[in-house]
């Protein structure tokens, strides 16, 4: 079975950095959810998580990574250790060499290229060190900032999956973008 290795040092491009998710990120995550009342909806959650729920996620993270199920990386500005968002690696299918990415950036840090840089760094790590062959990012078609960040990071738009997910009690379309080694 494959797994997502822990990062001995943050991944960085000089502007953006990614490090392993930890409990010290919880205060900034809670602030981000307070500052953007739609963040939980964009993340596919029914409600914003509590501090206790975030703590539980941080405690389970090492075991989930070791099992190859998922990985959560904290988005940072390169000169800071303050959480500015997260990249989550979910739905890993090691037999087919693919996984799905999800990203969010705190409202106060948006518009600075952090999402693009974080997706690029995560993509290089996952397609390189983790030996995956394909990454997918799904976003609601009207989520222009995420779609633009993914495109700028090298992800290629593959179209829209109609009625793909059930959210907020209804079927919603999802734009799908992908990244493969040839895109790097």
3-state secondary structure the chain: CCCCCCCCCCEECCCEEEEECCHHHHHHHHHHHHHCCCHHHHCCCCCCCCHHHHHHHHHHHHHHHHCCCCEEEEEEECCCCCCCEEEEEEEEECCCCEEEEEEEECHHHCCCCHHHHHHHHHHHHHHCCCCCCEEEEEECCCCHHHHHHHHHCCCEEEEEEEEEEEECCEEEEEEEEEECHHHC
pLDDT bucket at 37, cuts 50 / 70 / 90 = very high
- Domains in the chain: boundaries: 11-183
Residue 75 has pLDDT above 70, yes or no: yes
Residue 1 has pLDDT above 60, yes or no: no
Average pLDDT score over residue span 89-114: 97
Residue 168 has pLDDT above 90, yes or no: no
Architecture in CATH of 11-183: 3-Layer(aba) Sandwich (3.40)
């Amino acid at each position: 079975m494959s797994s997502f290795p822990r990062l001995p040092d943050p991944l960085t491009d000089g502007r953006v950095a990614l490090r392993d998710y930890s409990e010290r990120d919880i205060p900034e995550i809670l602030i981000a959810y307070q500052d953007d009342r739609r963040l939980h909806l964009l993340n596919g959650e029914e409600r914003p998580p509590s501090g206790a729920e975030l703590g539980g996620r941080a405690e389970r993270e090492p075991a989930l990574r070791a099992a190859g199920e998922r990985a959560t990386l904290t988005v940072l500005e390169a000169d800071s250790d303050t959480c500015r968002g997260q990249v989550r690696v979910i739905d890993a299918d090691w037999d087919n060499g693919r996984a799905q990415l999800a990203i969010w950036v705190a409202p106060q840090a948006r518009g600075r290229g952090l999402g693009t840089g974080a997706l690029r760094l995560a993509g290089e790590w996952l397609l390189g060190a983790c030996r995956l062959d394909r990454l997918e990012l799904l976003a609601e078609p009207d989520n222009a900032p995420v779609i633009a960040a993914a495109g700028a990071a090298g992800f290629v738009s593959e179209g829209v999956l109609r009625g793909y997910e059930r959210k907020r009690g209804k079927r919603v379309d999802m734009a799908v973008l992908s990244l493969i080694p040839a895109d790097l």
